[in-house]
Amino acid sequence: MGDLIYRSANSYNVSLDITGGNDKTKYSISGNYNSQEGTIINSDYKRYLGKLTLDQVMSDKFKVGLSVSYIYAIQGGISTYTGFNGSNTASLMYSILGYKPFLEPANLDAATDDLTDPTITSQFNYFFNPYINQKHLYRKNHSTTLLANGYAEYAINSHLKLRSTVGVNYLSYKSLAFNDSLTVYGSRLTTIGAAGPNGSVNQGSQPTWVNENVLTYINTFNKNHNLTALVGQSQSGFRAVNYGYSGLGVTNPGLGIYGLSQTNSGTVNPIGTSAVEWTKASFLADLCIIISQGIISQVLYGAMAPRDLQRATDGDFSCFKREMEC
């Protein structure tokens, strides 16, 4: 049975990189395409990646920078160790090793015509023809990731500098699953698929953002005495949304994932609906005095609070203070 399921898999990887610039501008553009076939039939992975970086000196006092990465990935196939209801007999590897081991090699092709093993009657055993099951399972996981970071730096004078940074991490995903009547999860011959062909769509997004602003003052007195002071403020946020739907007893399984609305009941069921959101802000101040290369005093103070003060509780606020002397 394993000879029908395993295969020699190909892998492709293509990359492109372009860099350049001058004394004021530096840039880099890169891209990558990666495609892998799984060593098990009906499994694969593809990824598309692009990246752009740019640093620009606008003037003697002002410079900016940007970095953007985009990743789109598609993964096909089911996990080889996915079981059901506490039993491993529904997993692919278990099925390969345990399905009708008494068959002679000459009759191996005949095993592809049998969906279940009639010698097993326990309701807790989900042995199903692993070759046909793997051919007909539909699993596609799509994910999109966008990473963007930028900065702006301005020298107010020779001692005072302001730096501001912004970062965004956006993730979106969609998982598609469909089980027709020739799979262990959709065949009415099994306890798992008693409801008939079925499928589900689950999707969501998780954007995260952060902004930091720091004002730094650095000065040297009498060649040996150094003073460094900074104040900073940052804020960040996160939002996660997940939603989806499923259909049981699909009456037109030939449509696959697109026929979930055509069920025996005529309805689809919502699944995995959830939403989480938070934002927070923090403040920082630091003062360091160095005399003759020895730290005389350093005071660090910080505080963090939620941005929505009207809904905040006492446990949402925090602060710290640290003093050091030598």
In a domain, 12, yes or no: yes
For the four alpha carbons of 248, 249, 252 and 256, in that order, the dihedral sign comes to positive
- Give the residues of the chain that fall short of pLDDT 70: 1-2, 81-90, 99-113, 117-126, 266-267, 292-326
pLDDT in tens, 155-187: 999 999 999 999 999 999 999 999 999 988 898
The pLDDT score that the predictor gives to residue 133 is 86
pLDDT computed for residue 119 by the predictor: 66
Indicate whether 50 belongs to any domain: yes
Domain containing 164: what range? 2-246+275-325
> What pLDDT, on a 0 to 100 scale, did the predictor assign at position 310?
47
| pLDDT for the residue 27 | 96
Give the per-residue pLDDT at 177.
95
In this structure, is residue 175 part of a structural domain? yes
**Is 263 a domain residue?**
no
Query: What is the rounded distance in angstroms from the CA atom of residue 157 to the CA atom of residue 220?
Result: 14
155 and 161 Cβ atoms separated by less than 8 Å: yes
Q: Is residue 269 a part of any domain in this protein?
A: no
How confident is the model at residue 19, as a pLDDT?
95
Q: Does a structural domain hold residue 260?
A: no
Are the beta carbons of 230 and 216 closer than 8 angstroms? yes
What does pTM read for this prediction? Answer: 0.81
Question: Do residues 90 and 192 lie in contact, with contact meaning Cβ atoms separated by under 8 Å?
Answer: yes
The DSSP 8-state label assigned to residue 58 in this structure reads -
Asked if the structure places residue 81 within a domain, the reply is yes
For residues 225 and 219, give the distance between their C-alpha atoms in angstroms, rounded to a whole number: 8
In a domain, 270, yes or no: no
Phi, psi of 253 (to 5 degrees): -65, -15
Number of domains in the chain: 1
